[in-house]
Structure 1
Amino acid sequence: MRIHDIGGEFALIDRLARQSPITHPDLLAGIGDDAAVIEGSSPDADCLLVTTDMLVESSHFRRDWATPEQIGIKAVACNVSDIAAMGGTPTFMFVSLALAADTEVAWVDALYRGMADACRRYGVVLAGGDTTHAQAVTISITMLGRVAPPNLRLRSHATPAEYLCVTGPLGGSAAGLAMLSAGLEPPPYLKDRHLAPGCRLDVSAGIAPLARAMIDISDGLAAEVNHICDRSGTGADIVVADIPIHPSVREAARLTGNHPLDFALSGGEDFELLFSISPGNRQRLDDQGIQVTTVGAVTDAASGRMLTFPDGRQTPLSGGYNHFSEKGKDPE
């Protein structure tokens, strides 16, 4: 039996979690959210957030496509995005770096310049790490953050009749990857979305006090909707016509023989936020000038997770990107 036989990445995580002790009086949330949540020293104190993410050469980046600075930016942004999804503020990070012995020192210097630029952008301090030898460059970052208990957002708090909203257009990273894989030069928008993405720390602090469930979009809209539904015990109805897709994504789909909806649903690495919110609080976001797009609604579990097309037709929501599925192989 292989990993893809049991359902891929998320099934593997569930399997491993069942074999590990994951309860502790101070652990408010562990496996199953964007970051672990550790209780503060008092009921009113900030909670500690801890997340980790790994980038592996040929799976998450290619050195013939991306500059070392871009790779460094992406490595930091994907971790900050997890902290933002919890409603928190990033503080410190620790970098473990695996390199081949013949790696050019200038390349490593440039990688850290990119990480330093991203750290300054998000207010993060590099506090330590580790280095070792490997055949493929591997960058593993552990990010710490903090969040006031009222602003803490988990995946498990969605309830029926709430809206599902996203903070920006989807599918850009996947569209950029598709063009690069086809030997085409992506336009600047798609190149930036794939090679040096940002995250939505700029709006997460304003959204968190009003939202219910929240998650970052790292594996595609479909996967993240399913995660919220799994944790909250709900269904969802996603309206295809309301999913924000940039014109460059549509053009990339035409050039590469793909469908733009597939990029948005299953592409991943957009690092926008998906959240559930009551209609009244959705209006409050508008009143505060926080621009988001409503893409659907939370429904009861019995209604399932559905895509609704403009003609009224409905189909089940797909699973999104899966690192270990046979169809979800890492880009090469």
Structure 2
Amino acid sequence: MPSSALRPVHGSAAEVVEAVAAWLAADPEPDPLVVETSGSTGRPKRVRLSRRAVLASGAATAEVLGASGQWLLALPATYVAGVQVVARSLTAGHRPVLLDDHADLAAAAAAMTPGVPHLVSLVPTQLLRLLDDPATTAALRGFHTVLLGGGPIDPALRERAEGAGVRVVATYGSAETAGGCVYDGWPLPGVRLRTDAATGRLEVAGPTLFDGYDGDPELTADVLRDGWFRTSDAARLDADGRLTLLGRLDDMVVSGGVNVPTPAVARRLRAHPDVAEAEVLGVPDEEWGQAVVAFVVPRTGASFDPSALRAWVVAEHPRTWAPRRVLVLDAIPLLPNGKTDRVRLREGAAR
């Protein structure tokens, strides 16, 4: 059963700011915060985060970015990325500015304290849409850094942002690592990475790790072993220790006996000039075991047929990677924290 002594993060953004401020100021060391995961692939988990882990993450972030200052909260406050925005701003001596209190990002940026570094965390979908507006693009240029995490980042999106004068740092992490623990492929100070030789599973150690899952000791014991957190991601580390993510372990779809890395297929589809957004998943199929299904959103005014998109994938990848089905959507469904709602996509494919 969950522990009533712990402090679940809930409420409005303003209420979370007050709660985190009190938690940071508590003496002695307070009970852990309980932050729920997004549940993008199923049931959310309740992650216990110590104040030590949250502060270690914030201090390492400031060291790597070369700045601490006031943060703009543009993400849901109750998830780990939002909690970290709040905590990092407060520990730097500034209350975060809440995007929800303003008409748009440009208005929120104008309300931030002058003379100190301004920082913000976004997910790729947010940045993609913000860059379509000249006013918000201009506002983003005024930020010291835009942290970008929560999902795969297409190189084209990053190039577009940097071409517009927006400094982007790509982050990798989870609630279990107190948020981003790898920036632009490099682990934060104190964070250690390794991969399982047999599966490629990424494992993380260091001062930012969580204490365990509230109410689920079996899952805690399964993923926390000897100070290492066993993630659900496959990765590669180069000789210098830089991380390259290969996708979630369950993103490798076995279709007709062939391994298909769905993130690579999705990246290829997003590069199509008529595709605005794309996701690729495996769904149960009687004939193939799992069928590779693409979910695509066309650019305004664009049209295409599924065979053309399959041919686009085959032009760069093996024919066996081409989607068996292509579903055209008005928008990719998102969870409150901006991540893709995979459950809804799979449900839609089953209809």
Q: TM-score by structure 2 length? A: 0.29
Specify the structure having the higher radius of gyration (Cα).
Answer: 2
TM-score (norm 1): 0.30
Structure with the bigger percentage of strand: 2
